[in-house]
A and B are shown apart, each in its own frame.
Chain A
Amino acid sequence: NAGVTQTPKFQVLKTGQSMTLQCAQDMNHEYMSWYRQDPGMGLRLIHYSVGAGITDQGEVPNGYNVSRSTTEDFPLRLLSAAPSQTSVYFCASSYTHNKKYGYTFGSGTRLTVV
């Protein structure tokens, strides 16, 4: 049981480049979400999904796209990277209707945009 797997762990991009951060879970969780963590800001919600085919915006969605074609995968796309997107990104998942076990987080992706 791998839990939530994020790839890559580290990435350096040049301004204007695009990339996709991958997130996969094997717990059959309906709910998946992406957060970014910046110093002094805690974790802020970027986008989330309550099931395959359904996505919605969080607190800081600008500059990011998501899709949810399967229950297991929830990729985060940066279309044109900017230095302001330098951050640590976390993916999380949970059951939607049974919250007994709460949220499970991946190990994070550290992204630097130069």
Chain B
Amino acid sequence: GIQVEQSPPDLILQEGANSTLRCNFSDSVNNLQWFHQNPWGQLINLFYIPSGTKQNGRLSATTVATERYSLLYISSSQTTDSGVYFCAVTGANSKLTFGKGITLSVRP
């Protein structure tokens, strides 16, 4: 199956800083999503982005499908951005495969 690797595994930021989270995948994908898991355990869909670039407020994401990676950008980070960020992809079999996540801590 498709392998999904996320980096870095942990990230500590001071409030107001910018960051880039990376997701590499091992094969062609039909679907790529970024999720934020908040401290209460809820999985929040941030972006559905199998290719191209999208922006939503302080967050943006870019997927370069031909090079098999995606980037999630967080600008002017806030303490509420803390949590775990997951990248998940779907190949031809429709199974959604997750990376192990990036734990982000934003300090005031």
Specify which chain B residues have a CB less than 8 angstroms from the CB of A108 in the assembled complex: 41-43
Residues of B within 8 A of A78 (CB): none
Within 8 A of B (CB), among A29-58: 31, 33, 35, 40-45, 48, 50, 58
Q: How far is the CB of A84 from chain B (nearest CB, A)?
A: 19
Closest to A50 in B: B94
List A63-114 residues whose CB lies under 8 Å from chain B.
88, 90, 92, 94, 96, 99-105, 107-108, 110
B31 and A42: CB pair below 8 A?
no
With an 8 Å Cβ cutoff, the count of chain B residues facing the other chain is: 22
Closest residue of chain A to B32, judged by CB? A102
In the bound assembly, the distance between CA atoms of A102 and B31 in angstroms comes to 7
State whether B94 touches A96 (Cβ < 8 A): yes
- Taking A103-B45, A107-B42 as known contacts, 11 extra A-B pairs with beta carbons closer than 8 A to each other, sorted by chain A number, are A45-B97, A92-B96, A96-B94, A99-B31, A101-B48, A102-B45, A103-B31, A103-B33, A103-B96, A108-B43, A110-B41
- Which residues in B have some Cβ–Cβ distance to A below 8 Å? 1, 30-31, 33, 35, 41-43, 45, 48, 50, 86, 88, 90, 94-101
Q: How near does chain B come to A27, taking the closest CB pair, in angstroms? A: 13
User: Given the known A-B contacts A31-B94, A42-B86, A99-B31, are A104 and B99 also in contact in the complex, defined by CB atoms under 8 Å?
Assistant: no
Q: How far is the CB of B83 from chain A (nearest CB, A)?
A: 13
In the complex, A78 Cα to B34 Cα: how many Å?
Answer: 30
Give Cα A101–Cα B94 distance, bound, in whole angstroms: 14
CA distance A48 to B96 in the complex (A): 10
